[in-house]
């Protein structure tokens, strides 16, 4: 049962930030993740601050620099079908199309998608795990088929968002507003690895709200893609996924960003895979070497070793598909 809480509809961004100073207050956008967390008692909330009425956080528009601004309340469905995103930032429209189900894409927002809580069944369940203030990660000795193979450190969640790896590949910026004004961080540094802080999934400080995503102008020759493998052909989170953003000049790859989903507690950028394909002609043997490089440091647990060949095949296939 969902515990009782106070509900406030903020009328402006400043008002929302002020309300979030209340002890136990949380922002509410589409509510598709927040309400599940309340029901499962993942965290305690006394006040839910709805930001859903803030028009300035909606919409998609071109920036004067030739990039794109996406308000944080823009729904995943709007992102999936927007013509400029489909043509210039294909990885993002492909990733958005892979999120959850049509109903959830219509209700869920991009800001909420980036800030959603992980799906680890120990964290979401009745276990007082490390991330919830306990003293151990139960996945280490427990059911770990869906946990991470890279970057686990002390907590072995996988980052749940499909749009986040695409945004990292496309070098997006995340604009954040809080009591001390606005700041912008790269999508790459927005999520918090457990090695730095295992109790927090993002760099958001208390009272801070994501207001927009900024995509840089697409480079000449940019091609991007996202592919996700899941356990079943219905809504599900990624077992393994890869976002690519590659710049081609004739048959040479001049720039490459390779970001994995379903692999690590944060969207996982593989510098080794990028180095293998950058500045060369991409053929099958190079794609295979890049895929191998991406998983070289993987440390699977008892039940998730299957992710290694899965990522190997997925990355190789996607690199060959983008040429
Ligand atoms: C059954 C199911 C399947 C799903 N499958 C997938 C999937 O395959 N891929 C995937 O990527 N996602 C998946 N999701 C997650 C879904 O996409 C998210 O629930 C949704 O995007 C969250 O958006 P929301 O607007 O509803 O966020 P909310 O539920 O309102 O908020 C989520 C969290 O983010 C915080 N928050 C919201 N907006 C902001 C903001 N602007 N600034 C700061 N904090 C904020 C809230 O406080 C809350 O903690 C699934 C969810 C469900 C329930």
Using 50, 70 and 90 to split pLDDT, how confident is the model at 2? confident
What is the Å distance from ligand 1's center to 207 Cα?
18
- Average model confidence (pLDDT) across the chain: 97
Confidence (pLDDT) at 29: 98
Residue percentage of the chain with pLDDT more than 70: 100
Q: So what's the pLDDT on residue 277?
A: 97
Best residue among 104, 168, 177, 267 to mutate for probing ligand 1's pocket (most ligand atoms within 8 Å of CB) is: 104
pLDDT grade for 251, boundaries at 50, 70 and 90: confident
Tell me, what's the pLDDT at 94?
A: 98
- Position 274 scores a pLDDT of 98
Q: Inform me whether the pLDDT recorded for 139 exceeds 90.
A: yes
**18 pLDDT more than 90:** yes
Residue 233, pLDDT score: 85
- pLDDT average, residue stretch 170-198: 98
DSSP output for 195-241: TT-TT-SBSPPTT-EEEEEEEPPPPTTEEEEEEEE-SSSSS---SEE
**Cα of 107 to ligand 1 centre, how many Å?**
9
**Angstrom distance (rounded) from CA 228 to CA 114:** 17
* pLDDT band (50, 70, 90) for residue 204: very high
Q: Write out pLDDT tens, residues 50-85.
A: 999 999 999 999 999 999 999 999 999 999 999 999
Tens-place pLDDT, residues 163-183: 999 999 999 999 999 999 999
Whole-number Å distance, alpha carbon 109 to ligand 1 midpoint, is 7
Q: What is the pLDDT of residues 86-107, one digit of tens each?
A: 999 999 999 999 999 999 999 9
Q: Could you tell me if 264 and 289 are in contact, meaning their C-beta atoms sit under 8 angstroms apart?
A: no
Q: Is the pLDDT of residue 320 over 90?
A: yes
The pLDDT, as a whole number, for residue 188 is 98
| Residue 28 Cβ contacting ligand 1 at under 6 Å | yes
- Give the pTM: 0.98
- Average pLDDT of span 221-231: 97
Rounded to an integer, the average pLDDT of 251-255 is 95
Mutate to test the pocket of ligand 1, among 101, 109, 112, 182 (most ligand atoms within 8 A of CB): 112
pLDDT greater than 90 at residue 110: yes
User: Does residue 24 come out as left (phi exceeding 0), alpha (psi in the -120 to 50 range) or beta?
Assistant: left
pLDDT of 138 above 90: yes
**Strand (E) positions, the chain?**
6-9, 25-28, 47-50, 60-62, 68-71, 173-178, 181-186, 209-215, 222-229, 240-249, 252-261, 268-269, 280-281
276 Cβ closer than 6 Å to some ligand 1 atom: no
Q: What are the distances in angstroms from CA 269 to CA 97, 184, 189, 221, 263?
A: 21, 20, 11, 21, 10
For the residues 120-149, what does the mean pLDDT come to? 96
pLDDT for the residue 184:
98
The Cα 241–Cα 135 span in angstroms is: 30
CB of 178 shorter than 6 A to ligand 1:
no
């Amino acid at each position: 049962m969902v515990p009782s809480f106070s509900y406030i509809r903020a009328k402006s961004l400043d008002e929302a930030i002020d309300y979030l100073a209340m002890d136990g207050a949380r922002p509410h956008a589409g509510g598709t993740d927040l309400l599940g967390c309340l029901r499962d008692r993942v965290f305690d909330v006394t006040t839910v601050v709805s930001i859903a009425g803030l028009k300035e956080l909606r919409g998609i528009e071109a920036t004067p620099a030739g990039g794109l601004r996406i308000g944080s309340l823009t729904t995943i469905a709007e992102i999936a079908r927007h013509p400029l995103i489909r043509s210039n930032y294909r990885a993002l429209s492909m990733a958005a199309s892979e999120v959850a189900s049509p109903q959830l894409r219509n209700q869920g927002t991009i800001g909420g998608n980036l800030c959603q809580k992980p799906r680890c069944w120990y964290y979401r369940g009745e276990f007082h795990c490390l991330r919830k203030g306990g003293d151990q990660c139960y996945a280490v000795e427990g059911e770990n088929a869906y946990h991470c193979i890279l970057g686990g450190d002390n907590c072995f969640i996988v980052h749940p968002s499909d749009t986040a790896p695409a945004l990292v590949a496309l070098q997006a910026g995340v604009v954040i507003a809080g009591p001390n004004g606005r700041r912008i961080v790269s999508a790459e540094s927005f999520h918090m690895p457990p090695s730095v802080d295992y109790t927090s999934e993002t760099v958001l400080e208390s009272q801070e709200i994501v207001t927009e995503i900024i995509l840089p102008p697409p480079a000449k020759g940019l091609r991007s893609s996202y592919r996700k493998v899941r356990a079943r052909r219905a809504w599900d989170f990624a077992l393994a996924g890869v976002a690519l953003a590659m710049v081609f000049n004739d048959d040479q790859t001049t720039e490459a960003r390779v970001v994995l989903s379903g692999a690590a507690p944060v969207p996982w950028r593989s510098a080794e895979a990028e180095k293998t394909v950058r500045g060369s002609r991409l053929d099958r043997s190079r794609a295979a070497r890049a895929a191998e490089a991406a998983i070289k440091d993987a440390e699977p647990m008892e039940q998730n070793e299957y992710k290694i060949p899965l990522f190997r095949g997925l990355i190789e296939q996607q690199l060959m598909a983008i040429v």
